[in-house]
Amino acid sequence: MKPAGSHAVVLVSGGMDSALTLALARERGFVCHALSVDYGQRHNAELAAAVRTAKSLGAVEHKTVSVGLRDIGGSALTAEIAVPEAGGSGIPVTYVPARNTIMLAIALGWAEVLGATDLFCGVNAVDYSGYPDCRPAFIAAFERLANVATRMGVEGTGIHVHAPLIAMGKGDIVREGIRLGIDFSATVSCYQADENGRACGRCDACRLRADGFRAAGIDDPTRYAR
């Protein structure tokens, strides 16, 4: 258990999962530094939502770092590949190669600069799209890497990677968010939201989000384009 006032870097994407992750980190007493990554995704609406989330949930600062994943493509979120409708089997084309590894690596670098020993990310292995970098094995492996690849890990007290949503269903995420006072209407989860942040209602991210509100018995506050 970290003492109250310990500093942490929290990845904040603008979606509902990262909003809850930030709220939980603060509830645990961490001083939270929010980090968003502009990796060349299809739209900037989620980055605008990340700014709102970091401010409303009490991050002491918020930084956005740009990484040109569009330069390598390979995903429907970073290349001219159609976003599929909800459903299907296997790892979908919305998977962005190495995205969570890259984001956590940037968070790790900033944590070293800040002297923070804790990283938080909102990955989830229950209601998710089958992405390999959302599993407990990935989080455990990255934490091991962090502790052999950094000064903080080798000479300091060590690095801990927290994934508080890893075993939560979307309904649980909604209920916890409501308990903590999160305004989910201000978050953006859709893979192809319009410039105003309105969701398509058809992609996998929209399906999982809507299922979560249904499971929680909460009216869906998502703004849909149609």
**Domains in the chain: boundaries:** 7-216
**pTM reported for the whole predicted model:** 0.94
Sign of CA dihedral 68, 163, 91, 198: negative
Cα-Cα-Cα-Cα torsion 40, 34, 21, 187, nearest 10 degrees, comes to: -50
pLDDT in the model for residue 168: 95
pLDDT in the model for residue 86: 64
Contacts 24+ apart (CB under 8 A), 208-214: 208/127, 208/128, 208/129, 208/170, 209/16, 209/170, 211/127, 211/170, 211/171, 212/16, 212/127, 212/169, 212/170, 212/171, 212/173, 212/174, 213/174, 214/171
The Cα–Cα gap between 53 and 183 comes to 9
**Is the CATH number of domain 7-216 3.40.50.620?**
yes
Give the DSSP letter of residue 187.
-
The order of strands in the sheet holding 118-120 is 61-66, 31-38, 7-11, 118-120, 160-162
Residue 36, helix vs strand vs coil? strand
- What string of pLDDT tens digits covers the 226 residues of the chain? 565 679 999 999 999 999 999 999 999 999 999 999 999 888 889 999 999 999 999 999 999 999 989 999 999 888 889 888 766 678 888 889 999 999 999 999 999 999 999 999 999 988 667 899 999 999 999 999 999 999 999 999 999 999 999 999 999 999 999 999 999 999 999 999 998 999 999 998 999 999 999 999 999 999 999 7
The Cα–Cα gap between 43 and 159 comes to 32
pLDDT in the model for residue 85: 77
pLDDT in the model for residue 3: 57
